[in-house]
Amino acid sequence: MSRARISDAVLYGLSAVFAAITAVTSTLPPHRAWGAIAWWGYACAFLITLVVLRRLLLTFVVFTAVTLVPLVTQAVQRAGGRTDRAQEEVLVVEQMGRRLLDTGTPYLDRPDIAALPASERLLGYSPYQPGMSIFGIPRALLGDHWWTDARIWFAAATIGALLWTLRLLADLVAPPGLVLIAQSVAVLPICTLTLTTGGDDLPVVSLSLLAMAFTARHRWAAAGVAIGVAGALKLFALPAALVLMVLAWQAGAPRLRALAAGALGLPILVMLPALVVAPSAFVENVLRFPAGHGLVTSPAQSPLPGQLIASSTAAGRTIALSLLVAAGLAIGIWLLRRPPQSTRAAALVITVGLTAAIMLIPSTRFGYLLYPAAFLALWWALRPPPAPVDRPANLWSASSGAA
């Protein structure tokens, strides 16, 4: 058995175990519902890897089994009245779409949140960029159907961006690299569980990967649009945008202007209406609440170093934030002294930077590690091939055989 097939078997086998444990032990009903279905898909994939060699095609079959099937199942059950078939992120995004249509801003101001019952104040906050509200508009306009669930549209955006990424890289990356990029988004349980139950991070990470793929093809304006759309959804795309601007600067001023127009222009353009309609509401939701100064505390409290330090002493939060600033300065010095000369080098900087940020932010989640995992996969995939690689015309065939 080839090393590639062994690595796939290990990935799918461990994922099946993770899904089964989640189905039995998770305290969150949407997570248990995902695990109850997903472990079958992973287990079948483990057996299929022993006889089937089309790795990329298998990756998307697995994605269908462990993400799309449980996602649609939960969306149908939710539309039928089950209130325990979606995480809070889904409700928040759908409320953002409804508020945007009703008031011109997806955010509630601090007095409006304070007027809510105490049990509803957390859901009154929308700690995303205004662009995220677009995924909530179908439900606001067309009613409570399974196909208006925000997760359905998260999945559509994720699939579209990922397929586009693979197409752009098909003749630049060896077949095993294409498979790894696809697996980092479509197979890792940290991603499939997130997309099935919450989902808002997957469009952001897939659009960021798409932007990286555009830079690999020297399409700077398109890269700026892709990372700009990601930044209009969530601030997590901002570090990647900054690194890509350094990469574009290395390629020349015209490339920097082309990329920055989208990378900075689109988030600002999407932000302006919310700032005009209710600037204080924007600040309360996007800045104050994530920084820990809202009326309620963020539920993102995974026991990573930043959270542990912040909760250990009275000055813990200050210490954690100081370490975060220090890590940011170290990344900045890295960029100044050794700016990335290639998409691969940029992917490594983003991987290290996001990992440091996730580890040190006082309010964080294990799930955010899906971001550096995807960029790390891209970094590995873009390594120089040891020998010339034959490039089959068909993308799916390119990932067959020894791949």
So what's the pLDDT on residue 392? Answer: 53
> Does one domain contain both 93 and 79?
no
Range of the domain at 175: 86-384
> Does one domain contain both 37 and 158?
no
> Does one domain contain both 139 and 8?
no
Asked if residue 26 belongs to a domain, the reply is yes
Asked if residue 154 belongs to a domain, the reply is yes
**Helix 220-233, helix 265-277: angle, nearest 10:** 30
Q: Full-prediction pTM beyond 0.95?
A: no
Element (H, E) at 20: helix 3-25
> Does one domain contain both 8 and 130?
no
Please enumerate, as own/partner, the contacts of 21-26 that have beta carbons within 8 Å and a separation of 24 or more.
22/189, 22/193
Asked if residue 391 belongs to a domain, the reply is no
pLDDT, tens digit, 9 for 90 and up, residues 177-209: 999 999 999 999 999 999 999 889 999 999 999
Q: How many domains does the chain have?
A: 2
> Does one domain contain both 12 and 145?
no
> Does one domain contain both 62 and 208?
no
So what's the pLDDT on residue 311? Answer: 83
So what's the pLDDT on residue 398? Answer: 47
> Does one domain contain both 342 and 223?
yes
Q: What is the DSSP letter of 401?
A: T
Angle at 346 between CA 342 and CA 348, to 5 degrees: 120
So what's the pLDDT on residue 128? Answer: 95
Q: Which residues of the chain have pLDDT under 50?
A: 398-399, 401-403
* 8 Å CB contact between 345 and 378: no
> Does one domain contain both 317 and 229?
yes
> Does one domain contain both 51 and 173?
no
> Does one domain contain both 110 and 9?
no
Q: Where do we find the tokens 């995480």? A: 87
Decide which of 68, 83, 98 is a domain's last residue: 83
Decide which of 60, 83, 106 is a domain's last residue: 83
